[in-house]
Chains A and B, each alone.
Chain A
Amino acid sequence: MSELAPRRGGLLADTAALTARSTRISTRNPDAVLVSLLMPVLLMVVFVHLFGGAIDTGTEYVAYVTPAVLVLCAGYGASMTAQSVTFDMAQGVVDRFRSMDVGAVPFLGGHVAASAARNAVAVLAVVGAAALMGFRAAGSPLGWLAAAGLLLAWIVALSWLAACVGLVAKSPEGAGGFGFFLLFLPYPSSGFVPIETMPGWLRGFAEHQPATPLIESVRALLLGEPAGGAVWRTLAWCFGILVCSVALSGVVFRRRSR
């Protein structure tokens, strides 16, 4: 036991270690894995085959709705981060990390990275289901890559926001409530129906909420259409949410430990 301490690794080494931890723990929950894979497929069936026939968007509905389901699943999956953070906060394990001088960024970064990995799988499930239902993307490989990048930015930003909620929530059940918010956020947008069909008061929200530029950029990039300023608006939203969340989580993490 006369082991001499090696030099502590930096922020990256800590984040890598805690990402491995969070990812392992994610895979040990088969129920959650199953839900995160089944939900996208079911949502695609519901929207394309159930509602799709009655909605007229002037295009093939599967092509119209796939980006929205992608965003929906990514957001909901990201919200799961809140529950896993709350769970950790309730255990002694956070005290151990803190007594080892591990800060908020590596701790939450590990959770967020694991969330990104989980949701990448869910996104692939949506794409697979869409392909089976006749979604044919005309976009270039570069466009696909850009769409994937935007979704990743969205997942990371919302996961970190969810992590903040997880730090504040008193119980995993309470933290789960955030999932509902993120589950409903994409509906009042141009994702499922054209905004023009909405009443005026809702239209204002739909036009200015972050899911709208994201869905429009992803749709345009996948279908090979010009995305215009939507990509930049999306990136600005993601960057803004991420910066605020990281800053807020640092403050809350320190305060929660007093």
Chain B
Amino acid sequence: MHTQQLAVEAEGLHRSFGAGEVLGGVDLAVPRGSVFALLGPNGAGKTTTVRILATLSAADSGRARVAGLDVRARRTAVRRLISLTGQYAAVDEAQTGEENLRTVARLRGYRGRAARRRAAELLEEFGLAEAGGRRVATYSGGMRRRLDLAAGLVTRPEVVFLDEPTTGLDPRSRRDLWELVETLAQDPQHPVTVFLTTQYLEEADRLADRVALLDGGRIAASGTPEELKARVGGARLELTLRGPDAYADALLRLGERARETDPGALTLAVPTDGSGPQVRGLLDELDPQRTEVARFAVRTATLDDVFLSLTGGAPPAAGGRAAEEHARV
């Protein structure tokens, strides 16, 4: 793809903190005007990647360009074209929502009355008009996140970075935030590129045009959500067998397709796309006499499934988390 059409591109980003390698060569290519999700568990290096792209941190090696500009050489220019909404709401609790937005507006170059007007517009747009005069300390988690997002959009950036925008939110606030991100991405007058990180497959699926799976500081897979789901088989058929003989028989018939096998509980799982014909076919295949399967359930693929299938191992434990926390300091 031609450089001009890429909002974010990275080649071989490496970053270590002390002895721990957080990024081990990350390559990314995000087309302009798209929504891109960097999906991964805690400690995968998501925050470190975003901080490098948003000019807050430097890579040890590798190159990154945002809006066509090198993040290192053209840092100031890049900062004018991006906004960053971090994992921790970057708003002052002791100020009101309106004062927070007015502060950011003034830093973005609005003066006096124009800053006030812009703050009022944003409060309205983000459903905070009534709460605008209250201190942020009284806001709910969802309101804070909306205010944080609004603060990132005082001026219209070309690339919006959202680092785990819905972590810690209740389901309803999460849906509200998804709608805001969708509105942002679909504005026909000024297409914005959204680069978000998330731990939730569902979120990436709902919002993103393209997803990259980050695991242990490396991109394990990337593509559209459909492509990724197709690779893990979208869903799981979970089976409980009637007895040890039935269990052994099912295991034999499934061979390498069997997952999450548990001889004690007599349960196992098989990847499926979740469609009626395929599930029926699988059941017929491994239990032609209809005597061996006690119960079955179809469960949609989880982030764990994606990891198991694409990285061949369990999702990394929380160990890498310490390094990421360190990166923030």
Contacts and interface: CB of A to CB of B under 8 A. Distances in A.
Interface of B is mostly: loop
A234 B329 CA distance: 36
B54 A99 contact: yes
A106 to B, nearest CB: 8
Contact of A100 (B58, B104, B111, B329): B104
Nearest to B157: A5
Interface in B71-115: 75-76, 79-80, 82-84, 86-92, 94-95, 99, 103-104, 106-111, 114
Contacts of B94: 24-25, 28-29
Nearest to A170: B329
A99 B125 contact: no
Interface residues of B, number: 47
Contacts of B151: 96
B187 A2 contact: yes
B135 interface: yes
Contacts of A29: 94
A5 to B, nearest CB: 4
Nearest to B190: A2
Contacts of A4: 155-156
Given A28-B94, A28-B135, A96 B84 contact: yes
Contacts of B152: 96
A5 B107 contact: no
Given A17-B106, A100-B104, A101-B76, A2 B95 contact: no
Nearest to A106: B107
Interface in B110-148: 110-111, 114, 118, 121, 125, 135
Contacts of A258: 57-58
A20 B184 CA distance: 30
A60 interface: no
A149 to B, nearest CB: 29
Contacts of B154: 3
Contacts of A97: 107
Nearest to B192: A1
B56 interface: yes
Given A1-B156, A3-B155, A5-B156, A100 B108 contact: yes
A20 B55 contact: no
A240 to B, nearest CB: 30
B76 A91 contact: no
B153 interface: yes
A92 interface: yes
A247 to B, nearest CB: 21
B189 interface: yes
A30 to B, nearest CB: 11
19 contacts: A1-B125, A1-B187, A3-B154, A3-B155, A5-B108, A5-B156, A6-B108, A9-B111, A17-B107, A18-B107, A92-B86, A92-B88, A93-B90, A93-B91, A93-B92, A95-B51, A98-B56, A99-B82, A256-B329
Interface of A: 1-9, 13-14, 16-18, 20-21, 24-25, 28-29, 91-93, 95-102, 256-258
Given A6-B111, A20-B103, 17 more contacts: A1-B156, A2-B187, A3-B155, A4-B155, A5-B155, A6-B114, A7-B109, A17-B103, A17-B106, A18-B103, A21-B92, A24-B99, A25-B94, A93-B90, A96-B84, A101-B75, A101-B76
